[in-house]
Structure 1
């Protein structure tokens, strides 16, 4: 009997000793990642990493397996392994943040929720996305976001706005940390002054969001979330230059102020002082700029761990464009044409969570914007001050997740134009409420309502409804419906009149625009056994506008006419986004949007100005691990859009061609903490002047000194003016900057 027991013991010992094991370490961006889940797919074997990020799986029968590593907020990784008798394998994993799907977002509902759990579809873009095509500011960086188009509005001064799904800039609300401080003057002059160095992520909501954010959030909104000092690197530097002579420098560093607070400082400097005239019209192809932006953010450490942060930014820019021989001594005169713009801007914003049991948050901001500009011999001097305060109460009760809030916005605006005989001061108090109801495990319903009072337009109500159906862990269906409104800020629309000969004519007392929107969104995720991932998201939308205020360039080529549309306008379309990550180092982000933006007046439907039928964007990346080299190929394509010509005799094309901007970049990252990158922008060397006799009308006579007029006020045809035109730099729809190379260096100390 003893011999039998001994034989069984020896046999069992042999069996156990023949078992296999797998061990290793899991990290994230080089730092140990505790509590990561480690499993063998389709088995009951698994574990979690310890505080040092290490794991050890033992007693694994021989065979072929897929080892899967996962952690909330990071992309899963899988590896195929083959285990024989008494095999011990070691595998280390470095997880990457899931930039596409598992982000925590706040823009859709004013609550911090996982993007997959939000009933409102929110697109998230992190700095890694924008590094694929480095730019000097966020305005330019948005060119590779599907359905979003940075639109230049002037060939000379290069000011611009942001279009979402074909709607012009005034319909897009741009926020910084949820604060509506980018509007009016800053929408026209300040967008290019937001540096990438302060960026934590950008959240994009397409479609009306007025029930939470009020006026201007009619077409959609862009929320620029700034970095948290606690998670920012100790020091970071990013510098690049282009063959056109552009130079950009981003610096960032953080410091701990004892136990009281942590401080983040960011500095951006951009300079372009190399006049270029490749299209030979004697005008600068790109505006010359000298710009500095300084940003500071303080996060205070409170005993109760409640939020208290303050941030401030100072921005100054000196930009000019015009005739190649222009100098500052000609500023404001009629001898040489130039558009010179001095912009000075202060911003303060903060968040304070009240020291009470209930979750109540007070957010506030104040901006002071001073504009000193001349357009030829026309001065434009303006000041704008915006104050904003908002208090929200986040309350959960049973199946209900409530949000109650009140906000107050003050705006001061004054300029030296006849359109502003006295300073404009307005107050807009608001109340809003939202309830997200958990109907079941798979169904959530969101109901919301906002009330605003405007001293010129009275009471304004904006309701919303959203439904999320979580079909399973890999598929989500969303339906959203609601209304939006926009209180007119005519300065934003009439800026085009400052840079040419067109005069603004307002035919009536303009009433707020109203919109009614519905959209459906479907998200599907696919995973393979090899660890590859494909995400597919598609959205269809329909928005109906009443009281539309659409600038009329057609009735009179010498005027921009404004009135409430006697009819309606509609924007509708469908978009699709594809995000794929493969274990072989290939990453693909593709986007496509088809849209129809039109107005109907007196029974006649016409396509709106500067709205493309379709757009496409892409970012294709491939990593050559052995060479420590990343290759990024990015680009966009835009369909034809109707352009503002100066009448039937204008030889410039009425519609733009289909056009594309494409870029390639190579990044070398073998040296610790350093990245060297270089590439080519605008590979196709495309510019708007191709196929056109000229872009700027009457560039040889910018003060219209040789223009003659008929008795009815129309321009007369003369030998010197065969097309009967006046000076007009407003025929612009894309950047007038051709092919160029760039080289840059990044250093990050974590």
Structure 2
């Protein structure tokens, strides 16, 4: 696999054909700074006019910041917390103090199955095929159903263009002193990707390929344990569409992802260190079709979707010839939707939709079922939303979602959003925006049926079939100003009140076959919590050469049972960036910085992880029309956690990282 990637990187680097070249310099088009968004209301609106606060990561942002996956694309979004998944190689997203179990990740509106527990690993989603990412915070269950209590991340893929277009990219990087073994001067990571799209007024197709490889990184030389996983990630997506006329569009697509990762870990049993290789292989297949028809009776759209995610892990003791502790899981999802939208009159837009959803889970440890085969859940859901301008400047968007779940019966989730244009000062429009929504989350199949047996290291987690759904009330109130040309200021207050929160709790202790004590935990509805705070974000392009942007978040959280703060939720977060572009040379220089304050790591609020600051620098240099050389240094400050206190130190895991790449577009 590594030889193939190296060969592909060399091939991509030599694909320069002057006959196909066109200008690919970064755009400063105002429309690119004020795009059309759809996630907040499921209808097209300019970002500056949306009644639901929406944050957008554009294709231009992804390229300027050299984001390889969704995790890296989201790093500059104010208020988002990107956290390493516990004992995994990937990252998850937290919003407004709600953890990743309560954040819904979508690709073109279709859900992404959790790779672990209820968590989506956003490093598994390559950035190559992304047109933009829309982020909506707070309870949006009225639009997107269960698991959207904290918010929604909707990844919108790139459309095929008219004519023939291509893009190819090659990149190599190094962790320097953290490269494994004695290879501090060698390449530790590589990436090669390519895209081609072909289209005319009647049909279009696109093919995307992305391959990433890594030797991992080792921040504790001299020990067996390594922190970064060694292995490969590969993604392939193809789509084909037919547009017989301007009122109809039909599309089918297939998406495949595979990862094969290995970590060196040390486990302690009876005071004795056991050296292991933790191997994980994951495969994800997404198949789907969708249509849009614009008729005199309204706009009709629908989709059929199927996803299969398989994950297999080993914890292989290197002192023995066989692979031990094999665990495999398979999650399958089916979804069918039918939606209707209609412009009732000029200031009145009605939307309604039906959805069927089914999910199954099977999990085995060796040949023993940890989840009974055939365990599944299904739901039928109905959505209605009205978008009305009561006056020229006052827009209200009420909505209601009704869900019938096979195991939990009926549930209703209402919501209401509004936006009032206050006044116009020169080019600046002033507005106030508010929203209230009811969120809920049905317990997932693992929480209800899973037996997570780690008795060999002293604990077991048991599923609880008697769990009840979680629920939340979310309140958002914002004030802002924008000039429609990329300059804006947005101040948003939020409050989330959560009940019946599901968490693990100690239930008993039992003896294993050797007589050692094993702690038994179970999922229960016990917690009541709230999060509250304020988010400030702003951007200003001084001229085509300079642009600054940033965001500050202050957040408080509380476990209502104890009155103490929830763990792993910092009070302060500051993100800021500056972008410089030389008009004649096309040189683009980007500097991004993140500051995050201390956060409690224990429920008694006696232990704190230190505050931290990181800075990244990015450079893009067009050298011949379509050909761009790019590179950068991530985490210039080399901020890194103390791995001897890994459960108490939440600072970044990756240290300083250097990389250089080449991109060709045509």
Please indicate the TM-score interval, normalised by the length of the shorter structure: 0.7 to 0.9
Q: Which residue of 2 aligns with 1:511?
A: 468
Alpha-carbon deviation of 1:176? 0.3
Alpha-carbon deviation of 1:181? 2.9
Q: Which residue of 2 aligns with 1:415?
A: 363
Q: Which residue of 2 aligns with 1:299?
A: 241
SS of the residue aligned with 2:326? strand
Residue 581 of structure 2: which of 623, 635, 638 is its match?
623
Q: What count of residue pairs does the alignment treat as equivalent?
A: 601
2:533 is equivalent to residue 573 of structure 1: yes
Q: Which residue of 2 aligns with 1:610?
A: 568
Q: Check the 8 A contact 1:184/1:489 in 2, yes or no.
A: no
2:359 is equivalent to residue 442 of structure 1: no
Residue 370 of structure 1: which of 304, 310, 313 is its match?
310
Q: Which residue of 1 aligns with 2:339?
A: 392
Q: Which digits, 9 at most, give the CA deviation of each residue in 1:427-452, with x for residues without a partner?
A: 11001111112101001111111100
Change (3 A) 1:246 1:424: same
Change (3 A) 1:468 1:462: same
Q: Check the 8 A contact 1:154/1:496 in 2, yes or no.
A: no
2:76 is equivalent to residue 150 of structure 1: no
CA distance in 2, matches of 1:389, 1:278: 49
Change (3 A) 1:231 1:443: farther
Change (3 A) 1:496 1:671: farther
CA distance in 2, matches of 1:350, 1:385: 17
Could you tell which deviates more after superposition, 490-499 or 364-373? 490-499
2:251 is equivalent to residue 309 of structure 1: yes
Q: Which digits, 9 at most, give the CA deviation of each residue in 1:527-549, with x for residues without a partner?
A: 9xxxx963101110111111111
Change (3 A) 1:186 1:362: farther
Could you tell which deviates more after superposition, 178-187 or 221-230? 178-187
Residue 207 of structure 1: which of 138, 141, 158 is its match?
138
Change (3 A) 1:294 1:260: same
Alpha-carbon deviation of 1:609? 2.0
For the aligned residues, what is the CA RMSD? Answer: 3.1
Residue 637 of structure 2: which of 660, 684, 689 is its match?
684
In the TM superposition, 1:30-69 aligns within 5 A as none
2:556 is equivalent to residue 596 of structure 1: yes
2:497 is equivalent to residue 544 of structure 1: yes
SS of the residue aligned with 2:624? coil
Alpha-carbon deviation of 1:127? 2.0
In the TM superposition, 1:315-334 aligns within 5 A as 315-323=257-265
TM-score, normalised to structure 1, is 0.75
Change (3 A) 1:747 1:135: same
Q: Check the 8 A contact 1:487/1:511 in 2, yes or no.
A: yes
Q: Which digits, 9 at most, give the CA deviation of each residue in 1:548-607, with x for residues without a partner?
A: 1134589999565531125x2101111011111011611111011111122111xx2121
Q: Check the 8 A contact 2:141/2:147 in 1, yes or no.
A: yes
Alpha-carbon deviation of 1:409? 0.3
TM-score, normalised to structure 2, is 0.84
Q: Which digits, 9 at most, give the CA deviation of each residue in 1:226-266, with x for residues without a partner?
A: 0000269701112211123111122111124x764211111
Q: Check the 8 A contact 1:430/1:453 in 2, yes or no.
A: yes
Alpha-carbon deviation of 1:671? 1.9
Q: Which residue of 2 aligns with 1:3?
A: none
Change (3 A) 1:624 1:209: same
2:430 is equivalent to residue 489 of structure 1: no
Change (3 A) 1:343 1:574: same
SS of the residue aligned with 1:211? helix
Structure 1 ranges of 4+ moved more than 6 A? 492-500, 553-557
Alpha-carbon deviation of 1:379? 2.1
2:594 is equivalent to residue 636 of structure 1: yes
Q: Check the 8 A contact 1:140/1:150 in 2, yes or no.
A: no
Residue 377 of structure 2: which of 426, 449, 471 is its match?
426
Q: Which residue of 2 aligns with 1:739?
A: 656
2:578 is equivalent to residue 664 of structure 1: no
CA distance in 2, matches of 1:186, 1:344: 16
SS of the residue aligned with 1:196? coil
Q: Tell me which structure has the larger Cα radius of gyration.
A: 1
Q: Which digits, 9 at most, give the CA deviation of each residue in 1:314-344, with x for residues without a partner?
A: 111101111499xxxxxxxx97412111111
